[in-house]
A and B are shown apart, each in its own frame.
Chain A
Amino acid sequence: MSDTYSFRNNFPFLLGAILAINAIPDARLMLDASDCVMSIPEFQKNHDLNSSIIAPNGFHRVYHTEADVNLTASNRTEAIARSIMKLANSGEVKALFLSSVPMTIITGYQYDKIMRGLKTPLVPIIEIPRKGLLGDWLDGYATALKSLANHISPSASSPDPRKTAVVGYLMDRSEEDHMGNIRELERVLREALGLDPVSIWLSNRSFEKTASLDNVGTVVSLPYARDAARIVAEKYGARLIETMPPIGIDGTREWISQIARAVGEENRADEFIDRELREHIPKLEWAVNKWFAGKRIVYCGDPYLMSGVKSLVEELGCSFDRGVIFSERDKLKNTPDDSAPDAYELQTSAFIEKLKSNESNRPTDLFIANSIAAREIRSALGRDVPIMEFGYPSYSHHALYDAPFMGFRGAMCFISRMANRIAASKIV
């Protein structure tokens, strides 16, 4: 059967918007949609054990306007306004975001006009606009952060170059892998670069704390929200440093060095890097030789983590192969993978064919894959295939204790997970 009609391995725009709301614990999202859209938030707890986006007492943080196929063509201005006000004025909520789905997009509702007509909503109401049916989950997340950036208003205070915002971190869950990343990013910014991290977008912090960017003089941009980072930098008169995520040993070293060059802290950064390497590298002396050198690794997941993972596994002596990248092809523009061969949002059937073909030539020693890809891999190759679940979504890997995957500490955690999985598959 032709790939033309096979499902693309990608996630919808709406998911990205929902992940953004999940990462601001006192924000809510109103979707102009029917209740079908609740399918995404209701499953979030399978990935994020700490998610509060759906509540057993009925006060969910995502809700909908009850639009259905019949009502969509009618005048729903009042109903939408009523739904918005219901959530905006319900207490506990500190910000309300608003977005739509394909069924309602094509009716062309002017949500901004409806929002202007609302009587005294108690909290900010922020639209996450959509461009037709275009965009995937990474666009949804980026657009939510861009809307947030457009919403905030800096005070008159002058920028302090030490005050740093990191904009464009994908906080897809509030478990200890991502919370560990936040701690590690803040530690590195402080200790290696002498910066004062005031806010990371997004980092599971309240709306007020997230939006508190006064005096920010440095914006470190990560790829999940480049536009938002640019807007924040422009609004605050801050310098903008565009980076890839600090994945792996060399990736982290490069990340620190890039920021250090921009902020003039090369010596401090070099000392920090040297100190960290002296602490961590000895622990890898035998692991690299025993488990990694010569192994074949396949990556399936988020495009923005791919170059970091590739760099890491190649440092350890592994060969790297891309399986399927869960995004539209435009996401790798201006990244180290821009010229890589085509594997973007590969359809399921093509992905499985590729897997089977590869496995017959040379078996993969470890798949690093999200849960959706992992399911397809197991379906094609059997349940015993070595898979390390990583990225969004991760249904069978959870982090209950500090387990970052960014920065030096993150690299060590990541390498430990890989080693354990490869070792387990070798023992008969």
Chain B
Amino acid sequence: MTDEAAIPKKKRAEKLPKATSNPTATKPSLPVLRATAAFLAGENRDGVIGGFALVKAQIFPFKNVGRLDFVDDDDLMVVVWVTPAGKTNSGARTEHLEFTLQLPAKKTGAKANNKAGELMAVLVRRLRTMTWENLERGIIESSDAPRVANFSRLTDLNRFFDRWGEPNQAAQFFFYDAVWRYYFVCYSYRHRGSVNVLDPSVYITHGDFECPRNFLFDIPGLDKYFRFPWNMESTDRNLRPEMHSAFFSTDLDDMDIIEGGRHKLSALLDRVAENPDYKIAFISVTCLSLIIGDDVAAAVREFRKKRDIPIIFIDALKMSIHEHLAEILRFDVDSPSSPRKPTNLINLVGFPSNKGLEELKSSLVESGLKINACLLPDISLKEIADYTKASLQIFFPGKAFEELTGNTFRRLPLKSISPEAPCGIRRTWEFLESAAREGGVLDSFSAFKEKRAAEIEERWAAVVEASRPYKLGIVLQSSQISLLHDNTLTWGIPMVPILEEMGFRLHILIQSQPGSMDEAESLKTLFVDPAQHEFTVFSTADELMALLRDGDFQAVYSDVHLDSRLSRNGKLGFSIDFFELGFEGAFRAAARLQALCATPFYRRYAEYLSAAPGEP
């Protein structure tokens, strides 16, 4: 739990994000790209510099990068990903560090290609003098340019489909890092439902026909490769935003490649500017437009003069949801500077937007609180404008929006709390009590609990009894054991404790060294009642398949939709999206899991599934 309301006004002003112009990174020019390529193919071919192995370095110019206020026009930036030299990226989770160096234009005044070469040379010098430990702590000696613009830790930098044929994947069922990138970082996050913009918006793609059409299929209700981490069925509030939005494309053709396509974008933006209905504009630039060098930033600047609406500018160089949405999340901070007087008006941040949330809100209201705003994944301009009327903001645990909220919401002069997710009965009561205490309505909460607790407990006892016959499997690689107790790695949902609370027995299968039982023994301390559960160590994928086939559990955790590793072994898959918030959400989640376990089809007929049609 944090309380940032006590930060003095002056300090707070410094910490708050500045309302700046729109981030509009220009495309990397060919000289810059060539300099990058020359660097990567040159003396550092093996990628080892000092104590670091260079995973990747991308250099590009930035113009008007709003949040990075020290950046001038024509500055160059290099984003660098490194890992300790000598460590490979095979199988186990590998740590990468990402940081960005900036070379101010005024330092050299040189032409772009020379500047790029200079920046790379500085990077090499810097890497040779740095240590992994310092980098981990965010310490980069910066007595002169380049300055450190950004720093973050990445794990498993590999993209979700980039690990083709890695033998370890056969035994991998948790893909936390890949799922995070897939839904919250990747350029296409908007298509994947990670954010719901509730205001009428216009979505503009500047590029070829093909690129945006790749996402045509990414429509609500379809299975994606990974399961979305939260149950996100539509509610009255979050009905699909595209229903009241417009989508346009400049649809560049071969001639535009030669002659440039900016005129098409400008013409389209002129038409959009005439329409007063759009409250937010998303402008995406495809790789093709970046490569041919259209001056998109200039077109956007012109548009901004005509329409004063938030513009979310997305290109293939800036992948992060955090970079994009900061443009929208501008709060009114002119209100009282001292810590707010407690009221019963609260904000919710980062809570999965579904039926469970609506029910949770009702419980909060019945506990005496009033919901002022509920943001992320929903985005509502009105709720952003009203946000600072509340005195308390409650954050959903987990890392999905962590960086974004850290740079925005958490800097506001509101009391902040981050209780455990209200999943399951016990945690829902604890969540409500925590909110009521901070909101000053403990008496109302007590009355609510008095009214509802007995009925809920009675129903829940029946749920627990009904779950007893069933057993669920969880397959972990040894590097993933923290998933059992670190809720941030399970999207804020304390999955294992909730399964125990529901009454399910568990079979934990851990991939480790042959003959090692230490891992299994150490795990037992993480469970309320380890005697109810089973723990098995395996080492190869073949061993795992035999365990899946012979195990007396009915369903197994998997982040992958329609996982044939399970069906072929007579099991069904479940994932984090089975869980919901609040009391009724807990009942529905338990019912879903019980129904899954009660399905006999795969147990009976698995042996006939080995030669499914469509496979060689």
Chain A residues within CB distance 8 Å of chain B: 1-2, 5-8, 10-15, 25-26, 34-40, 42-43, 45-46, 48, 50-52, 54-60, 63-64, 66, 68-75, 86-87, 90, 92, 94, 101-103, 106-107, 132-134, 174-175, 179, 204, 206, 348, 372, 375, 379, 393, 395
Contacts and interface: CB of A to CB of B under 8 A. Distances in A.
Nearest to B250: A5
A36 B210 contact: no
A45 B226 CA distance: 12
Contacts of A74: 33-34, 36-37, 40-41
14 contacts: A1-B246, A12-B209, A50-B614, A54-B225, A56-B565, A58-B166, A59-B164, A69-B290, A74-B41, A75-B37, A101-B210, A102-B208, A132-B257, A133-B209
Contact of A6 (B60, B209, B210, B248): B248
B25 to A, nearest CB: 11
Of A2, A8, A58, A92, which is in contact with the most chain B CB atoms at under 10 Å from its CB? A58
A36 B613 contact: no
Contact of A36 (B188, B247, B254, B560): B188
A142 B261 CA distance: 29
Of B188, B541, B615, which is in contact with the most chain A CB atoms at under 10 Å from its CB? B615
A40 B217 contact: yes
Interface stretch (B100-108, B154-162, B349-357): B154-162
A36 B214 contact: yes
A11 B246 contact: no
B319 to A, nearest CB: 10
Given A72-B291, A134-B254, 16 more contacts: A5-B248, A7-B212, A25-B614, A50-B613, A54-B225, A56-B560, A57-B170, A58-B163, A60-B161, A71-B37, A73-B291, A102-B211, A102-B286, A132-B254, A206-B616, A372-B216
B614 A51 contact: yes
Interface in B516-567: 541, 558, 560-565
Contacts of A393: 217
Of B207, B224, B541, which is in contact with the most chain A CB atoms at under 10 Å from its CB? B224
A5 B249 contact: yes
B320 to A, nearest CB: 15
Contacts of A57: 169-170, 541, 565
Nearest to B60: A70
A35 B210 CA distance: 14
Contacts of B558: 56
A5 B37 CA distance: 36
A90 B209 contact: no
A48 B614 contact: yes
Given A51-B614, A56-B564, A7 B217 contact: no
B187 interface: yes
A40 B132 CA distance: 39
B612 interface: yes
Contacts of A372: 216
Closest 10 CB pairs of A and B: A50-B614, A74-B37, A58-B169, A73-B33, A43-B217, A174-B614, A12-B210, A5-B248, A103-B287, A26-B616
Contacts of B165: 58-59, 86, 90
B30 interface: yes
Contacts of B34: 73-74
Interface in B161-206: 161-166, 169-170, 187-188
A157 B288 CA distance: 48
A39 B251 contact: no
A7 B249 contact: yes
Contact of B223 (A39, A46, A60): A46
B612 A50 contact: yes
B254 A56 contact: no
Nearest to B208: A102
Interface residues of B, number: 78
Interface string B260-304: 000000001001100100000000001110111000000000000
Contacts of A68: 287, 316
A46 B217 contact: yes
Contacts of A7: 212-213, 216, 247-249
B1 interface: no
Given A1-B275, A75-B41, A39 B614 contact: no
A41 B28 CA distance: 30
A73 B616 contact: no
Nearest to B566: A56
A62 to B, nearest CB: 9
B41 A92 contact: no
Contacts of B160: 35, 38
Nearest to A72: B291
A126 to B, nearest CB: 17
Interface string B401-439: 000000000000000000000000000000000000000
A375 B219 contact: yes
Contacts of A90: 165
A11 B216 CA distance: 8
B222 A43 contact: yes
B613 A179 contact: yes
Contacts of B207: 102
Contact of A69 (B164, B213, B247, B291): B291
Contacts of B291: 69, 72-73, 103, 106-107
Of B165, B169, B251, B268, which is in contact with the most chain A CB atoms at under 10 Å from its CB? B165
B141 interface: no
Contacts of B36: 70, 74
A348 B248 CA distance: 10
B465 interface: no
Nearest to B39: A74
Given A70-B28, A90-B165, A42 B224 contact: yes
A204 B217 CA distance: 22
B472 interface: no
Contact of B211 (A2, A15, A36, A59): A36
B253 interface: yes
B218 interface: yes
Interface string B18-37: 00000000011010011011
Contacts of B243: 379
B58 interface: yes
B605 interface: no
A11 B209 CA distance: 9
Nearest to A40: B214
B215 interface: yes
Contact of B252 (A1, A133, A204): A133
B317 interface: yes
A65 to B, nearest CB: 11
